[in-house]
A and B are shown apart, each in its own frame.
Chain A
Amino acid sequence: MKRQYFINANIVDPHNSMNENGGLIIGEDGKIEAIGKKVNTNNLPTRERPIDLDGKYIFPGLVDMRVFVGEPGYEYKENFRTLSNAALAGGVTSVVTMPNTDPIIDNVSIVDFLKRRGRDKSKINIFPCASLTKGVEGQTMTEFGLLQEKGIIAFTDGIKTIQNSRLMSRIMNSAKDLGSLIMQHAEDYELAKNGMINSGIVATKLGLSGIPDIAERIIIERDLTLLEKTKCRYHISQLSSEKSISTIEYRKDKVQFTSGVSINNLSLNENDIGDFRTFLKLSPPLRKEEDRLALVKALKDGLIDVIVSDHKPEDEESKRLTFAQAATGASGIETLLSLSLELYHNGSLKLETIISALTNNPAKILKINKGNLSIGSDADFCIVDINKPWIVKKNKLISKSKNTSIEDKKLQGKVLNTFVKGKELFKL
């Protein structure tokens, strides 16, 4: 690989507290050689022809902590190749994949398969999760130690929640012994039973069963109580309500934990469901505008650490049904950054806060050397025109599944190029 030179970029790298106009040099080994304002035309070798980015932005490649890939079992929804291409178009270079495949990622032999497929078919960095319990049935815990040794980054039942408190307590004990990261999708099944959307006026009007916000809070309260006893690495996958935030705010200085939020819950509310739009059937559900605003504020205040796409590809057949029958989830990895930038353009959040929640914060939780532009690190980054206007059209999405929650939405900011280990793998 030839050495590459970029100049005159706005570089935002929260890990190194960098937000400045400068350049970037990528070495022949695909690693970052130099970065920042020191890199400019005055100190580059004269024979080199650097690429002038004309004030475009450089961000570290995004680290998306909650992504569903259909492989194995649901290849018709998304495979590693289509996921990679979709991710690259959104500036995402590292993903944490959920174990809810068929079969479930719950034993050592399937991890070998997964790693091989990921390596052969994927262009981005895949960090697979295994399930917390066998078959995500919430009964018997999986082999955290052995699975970790095979390269599992974290443990979660993905779309499911550990309901049994005794089991959760034992999971935390094991996780503490083995240094494992536990990620909980917080929802009390009994309170949320048959629920499809947020409990309240919209559910009442549409005649759909509701999922109350306390269904989330009660699991968070329980887990944080258990965490006081057993201090393990614990992450709440997605928060969705103001009530949950008041809980974590109260607990933050007593126990150590981290939390995430889906870009859907940060950008949309229950009113967007309109006339039974099944693409907005999500878990956790979209809630009230007050909840959305509370989530944005929590991100601003540092109570929430990461933003995830909660990318859940579903084919047309799973969505062209009545709301009750339709599958849950939305495709979102391609629009994650652009939709997040909306919160910058409308003055809700600082650019650094958003980029941090998409890069170095998830990397820190996962303990991986990604989501930064440090010298010597892999040159995983994206070049972004943060002002470029565009309209989301599902048929133009690269992902195999077109179930976007923001069809026809006008966005500002688009990824122009994405690099992984110094190689340009996406170009608009």
Chain B
Amino acid sequence: MAIKTNKAIKISQKHLLGIQDLSINDVNLILDEAKDYIKLNQSSNKRTDILKGKTQINLFFEPSTRTQSSFELAGKRLGADVMSMNISNSAIKKGETLIDTAMTLNAMHPDIIVIRHQDSGACNLLSQKVNCAVLNAGDGRREHPTQALLDALTIITRKKKIEGLRVAICGDIVHSRVARSNIYLLNMLGAEVNIIAPTNLMPKEIEKFGVNTFTDMKKGLKDCDIVMMLRLQNERMTSSYLASNREYYEYYGLTQDKLDHAKPDAIIMHPGPMNRGIEIDTVLADDINKSVIKEQVELGVAVRMACLKIFCK
């Protein structure tokens, strides 16, 4: 991760649809830009006018607290006009298709659209139909690029590097876009990735992504620098994946005895929202020496500001 790039390098993509599409230069460009905003966000006057006169539309088809507010705040701090569409009151409820919604919004000349959708590939479809840049805030199970970028920034802030670190991603991998984006990004930045999940929650042929897979959490956590826990996505579970939450916690919930297999200075991450007592022990989640969960949220705003600035032409 030590590769320091020239800031003059431009982003290679028009849209931010997924980590898969980014080059290492793109990633470094975004992370470097984000670092500048960390300090700004901690100061008393957080407002700039970098995106003054630009219009940002947030289109969230799925409920979201942190990502939506993070994007909204990021846009406002850059001085953009931010509009968040309330889907439950919109024409989509009346049967309008995604493409028609896109065309309608496009006619209002936004500079950037941030979209979250329950279907994988929805942002790709949108990007083909609008003139402005599209930022993916999570599509189905496919990608959640800004989450992976903020996770990377959090790791760099704590560990000063990513290359050579061993990262465990544990939990409901099959339903997780966060896992997929993180796998791509961590691989790109030179980390070793361990995936830990029961077979029912492990995506098919995930090992072809260049990761190690474990069904035994203790083995998977061995000597890890980073422990990334994922939320059990009960709302996406259509048939019996697990016997019970109780049993899941027993074998895959992060507890101190399991964490002891990781390195002593390992840090704990979670994209939120957390199911305390299911995937993570509540004491560990709140342990300020180990858990960086709040820091992830903080850096999330900085990363999204960087993305908005870079992709908003």
Contacts and interface: CB of A to CB of B under 8 A. Distances in A.
Interface of A: 190, 193-194, 199-201, 203-208, 210, 212, 275-276, 317, 320-325
A259 to B, nearest CB: 26
Contacts of A193: 238-239
22 contacts: A193-B239, A199-B204, A203-B204, A204-B206, A206-B121, A207-B121, A207-B139, A207-B143, A207-B177, A207-B180, A208-B121, A276-B124, A321-B99, A321-B125, A322-B98, A322-B121, A323-B119, A323-B121, A324-B119, A324-B120, A324-B140, A325-B119
A376 B36 CA distance: 86
A203 B203 CA distance: 9
Given A190-B239, A194-B238, A321-B98, A207 B120 contact: yes
A320 B99 contact: yes
Interface string B103-127: 0000000000000011111101100
A201 B208 CA distance: 7
Interface of B: 20, 97-99, 117-122, 124-125, 139-143, 177, 180, 203-206, 208-209, 238-239
A275 B124 contact: yes
B204 A207 contact: no
A100 to B, nearest CB: 23
A325 B99 CA distance: 12
A372 B271 CA distance: 65
Contacts, number: 68
Contacts of A194: 238
Nearest to A201: B205
A317 B96 CA distance: 11
B180 A201 contact: no
Ranked 8 nearest A-B pairs via Cβ: A207-B142, A207-B120, A207-B141, A322-B119, A276-B121, A201-B205, A204-B203, A324-B119
Nearest to B140: A207
Nearest to B207: A201
A322 B177 CA distance: 17
B97 to A, nearest CB: 6
A200 B125 contact: no
Nearest to A275: B124
Given A275-B124, A322-B117, A322-B119, 19 more contacts: A194-B238, A199-B204, A204-B204, A204-B206, A205-B20, A205-B142, A207-B121, A207-B139, A208-B140, A208-B141, A208-B142, A276-B125, A317-B97, A321-B97, A321-B125, A322-B120, A323-B121, A324-B118, A324-B119
A200 B204 contact: yes
A92 to B, nearest CB: 33
A199 B202 CA distance: 12
- Main SS class of interface, A: loop
A204 B209 CA distance: 10
Nearest to A276: B121
Contacts of B121: 206-208, 275-276, 322-323
Contact of B205 (A200, A320, A322, A325): A200
Contacts of B125: 276, 321-322
A206 B120 contact: yes
A111 B99 CA distance: 39
* Among B20, B118, B119, residue most surrounded by chain A Cβ atoms (within 10 Å): B119
Nearest to B17: A275
Contacts of B97: 317, 320-321
Contacts of A204: 180, 203-206, 209
Contacts of B117: 322
A323 B99 CA distance: 13
Contacts of A201: 204-205, 208
B100 to A, nearest CB: 9
A206 B295 CA distance: 30
A276 B177 CA distance: 16
Contacts of B119: 322-325
A322 B122 contact: yes
Contacts of A322: 98, 117, 119-122, 125
A178 to B, nearest CB: 37
A398 to B, nearest CB: 26
A355 to B, nearest CB: 38
Contacts of A323: 119-121
A205 to B, nearest CB: 8
A147 to B, nearest CB: 36
A295 to B, nearest CB: 21
A190 B204 CA distance: 17
A194 B142 CA distance: 15
Contacts of B99: 320-321
Contacts of B124: 275-276
A199 B204 CA distance: 7
Contacts of B205: 200-201, 204
Contacts of A212: 204
A320 B97 CA distance: 9
Contacts of A324: 118-120, 140
A322 B100 CA distance: 12
A203 B120 CA distance: 10
Contacts of B141: 207-208
Contacts of B238: 193-194
A210 B209 CA distance: 17
* Among B122, B125, B139, residue most surrounded by chain A Cβ atoms (within 10 Å): B125
A148 B75 CA distance: 67
Contact of A210 (B139, B140, B143, B204): B204
B310 to A, nearest CB: 22
* Among A193, A321, A322, A325, residue most surrounded by chain B Cβ atoms (within 10 Å): A322
Contacts of A317: 97
* Among B141, B143, B204, B208, residue most surrounded by chain A Cβ atoms (within 10 Å): B204
B24 to A, nearest CB: 19
A205 B120 CA distance: 10
A11 B307 CA distance: 65
Nearest to B120: A207
Nearest to A324: B119
Contacts of A210: 204
Contacts of A200: 204-205
Nearest to A194: B238
